[in-house]
């Protein structure tokens, strides 16, 4: 009898133990403190930019789209105003300007003097004819680089028989100086090829609205396959300001029936700068380079931004001419405005 009871107790204990083992634990579920949710690992395979794509954007983003649409219609002109002494004039107001778009007077939205960030291209002639001038040219370009501001950026192109990119856009002054210090003259001159390539590069990769090309060359075009007309059209379309320092030698011969190479080079350089609202410099001596560099930077920093919405709503892709007139106050100090000659409607 005693053995039977002992055996019965053992059976009961065994059954109870098996029930305990088979019952799930609820200790964590009863914990009043909230548990951290597991990481959603399944999202790792989804596009990271899916939430910001247009089709997934919430309705509250619609005003932003409308703002962008309006801003693309606005024309913004970088305008340099100079007096009869070729000095910048910075005290003008909106009513001092008149803008004509395709000969039609426009209603000006705003006029401001803004020291905006700039995307700059340094385009340096490294043909053999520049050998005796290259060190001064490099030093002057480095001076410009050192005066760049934190939000500015620049790239470096050299051109011999063909243009080549030496340094892409960067705000790192040490990289830009290092690129300039590597320039070594040889070969021919492809000024027009370099200019059209640099203007397209500036437009495609430059981050800032105001873009400028600073070209230093003796201007004796010899090797370009690009025609002048193509370059002028590219400058208009890409909306870059072109500054050229023409290091031209004096004519050593007298030409009666045709233009000398030096005179042709000077005329070419002038045409390239006028259409863009830039400026051409022709120093008598290479020692003038530092002061010219300072003048170029001053020009780029002291410009008005004249904004208006064209009365014509045509988006035909055609070129629209622009003329900016300064309403004169002082007849004895005639002011003139320098800006690009027009724009292509998008």
| Structure confidence at residue 17 as a pLDDT band (50, 70, 90) | very low
Backbone angles phi, psi at 291, to 5 degrees: -70, -35
Residue 69 belongs to some domain of the structure? no
Where would I find the H helices in the chain? 2-22, 62-73, 134-146, 173-181, 191-205, 228-238, 261-274, 289-301
Query: According to the model, what pLDDT value does residue 142 have?
Result: 93
User: In the predicted model, what is the mean pLDDT of the chain?
Assistant: 79
| Claim to verify: residue 180 and residue 96 sit in the same structural domain | no
- Residue 223 structural domain: 118-301
| Claim to verify: residue 286 and residue 273 sit in the same structural domain | yes
Query: According to the model, what pLDDT value does residue 39 have?
Result: 41
Residue 218 belongs to some domain of the structure? yes
Cβ proximity of 124 and 131 under 8 Å: no
| Claim to verify: residue 276 and residue 334 sit in the same structural domain | no
Query: According to the model, what pLDDT value does residue 223 have?
Result: 84
Query: According to the model, what pLDDT value does residue 242 have?
Result: 95
Residue 65 belongs to some domain of the structure? no
| Claim to verify: residue 108 and residue 129 sit in the same structural domain | no
Number of independent structural domains in the chain: 2
Q: What percent of the chain has pLDDT over 70?
A: 76
| Claim to verify: residue 289 and residue 320 sit in the same structural domain | no
| Claim to verify: residue 175 and residue 127 sit in the same structural domain | yes
Residue 252 belongs to some domain of the structure? yes
| Structure confidence at residue 205 as a pLDDT band (50, 70, 90) | very high
| Claim to verify: residue 256 and residue 280 sit in the same structural domain | yes
| Structure confidence at residue 63 as a pLDDT band (50, 70, 90) | very low
Residue 256 belongs to some domain of the structure? yes
| Claim to verify: residue 130 and residue 105 sit in the same structural domain | no
Tell me the mean pLDDT in the region 255-259.
60
* Tens of pLDDT, residues 146-187: 989 999 999 999 999 999 999 999 999 999 999 999 999 999
**Does residue 261 carry a pLDDT above 70?**
yes
| Claim to verify: residue 96 and residue 164 sit in the same structural domain | no
**Does residue 320 carry a pLDDT above 50?**
yes
Single pTM value for the model: 0.74
| Claim to verify: residue 218 and residue 338 sit in the same structural domain | no
Residue 161 belongs to some domain of the structure? yes
Residue 205 belongs to some domain of the structure? yes
Residue 47 belongs to some domain of the structure? no
**Does residue 235 carry a pLDDT above 70?**
yes
Tell me the mean pLDDT in the region 84-89.
86
**Does residue 38 carry a pLDDT above 50?**
no
333 CB-near residues (< 8 Å, 6+ apart): 83, 84
Buried b (16+ CB within 10 A) or exposed e, 9-42: eeeeeeeeeeeeeeeeeeeeeeeeeeeeeeeeee
For residues 30 and 166, give the distance between their C-alpha atoms in angstroms, rounded to a whole number.
68
**Does residue 19 carry a pLDDT above 70?**
no
| Claim to verify: residue 161 and residue 83 sit in the same structural domain | no
DSSP letter string, 194-242: HHHHHHHHHHHH--SSEEEEEEEE-----S--S-HHHHHHHHHHHT-EE
- Selection from 86, 63, 141, 75 nearest residue 108 by Cα: 75
Tell me the mean pLDDT in the region 16-38.
43
| Claim to verify: residue 90 and residue 160 sit in the same structural domain | no
Tell me the mean pLDDT in the region 126-131.
92
| Structure confidence at residue 304 as a pLDDT band (50, 70, 90) | very high
| Structure confidence at residue 258 as a pLDDT band (50, 70, 90) | low
CATH number, position 215: 3.40.50.410
For residues 173 and 146, give the distance between their C-alpha atoms in angstroms, rounded to a whole number.
7
């Amino acid at each position: 009898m005693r053995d039977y009871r002992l055996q019965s107790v053992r059976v009961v204990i065994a059954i109870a133990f098996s029930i305990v083992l088979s019952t799930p634990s609820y200790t964590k579920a009863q914990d009043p403190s909230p548990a951290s949710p597991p990481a959603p690992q399944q999202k790792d395979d989804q596009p990271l930019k899916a939430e910001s794509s247009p089709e997934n954007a919430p309705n509250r983003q619609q005003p932003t789209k409308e703002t962008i649409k309006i801003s693309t219609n606005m024309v913004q002109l970088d305008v340099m105003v100079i007096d009869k002494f070729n000095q910048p004039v910075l005290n003008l107001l909106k009513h001092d300007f008149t803008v004509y778009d395709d000969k039609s007077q426009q209603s000006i939205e705003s006029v401001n003097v803004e020291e905006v960030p700039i995307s700059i291209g340094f385009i340096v002639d490294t043909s053999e004819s520049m050998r005796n001038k290259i060190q001064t040219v490099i030093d002057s370009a480095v001076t410009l680089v050192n005066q760049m501001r934190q939000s500015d950026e620049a790239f470096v192109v050299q051109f011999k028989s063909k243009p080549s990119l030496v340094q892409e856009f960067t705000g790192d002054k040490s990289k830009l100086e290092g690129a300039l210090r590597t320039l070594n003259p040889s070969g021919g001159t492809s000024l027009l090829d370099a200019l059209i390539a640099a203007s397209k590069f500036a437009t495609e990769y430059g981050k800032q609205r105001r873009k400028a090309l600073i070209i230093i060359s003796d201007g004796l075009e010899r090797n370009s396959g690009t025609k002048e007309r193509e370059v002028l059209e590219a400058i208009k379309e890409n909306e870059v300001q072109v500054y050229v320092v023409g290091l031209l030698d004096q004519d050593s011969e007298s030409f009666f029936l045709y233009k000398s190479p030096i005179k042709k080079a000077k005329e070419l350089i002038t045409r390239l700068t006028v259409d863009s609202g830039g400026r051409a410099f022709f120093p008598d001596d290479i020692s003038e380079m530092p002061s010219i560099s300072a003048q170029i930077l001053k020009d780029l920093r002291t410009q008005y931004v004249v904004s208006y919405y064209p009365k014509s709503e045509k988006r035909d892709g055609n070129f629209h001419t622009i003329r900016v007139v300064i309403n004169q106050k002082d007849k004895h100090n005639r002011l003139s405005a320098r800006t690009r000659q027009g724009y292509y409607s998008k």
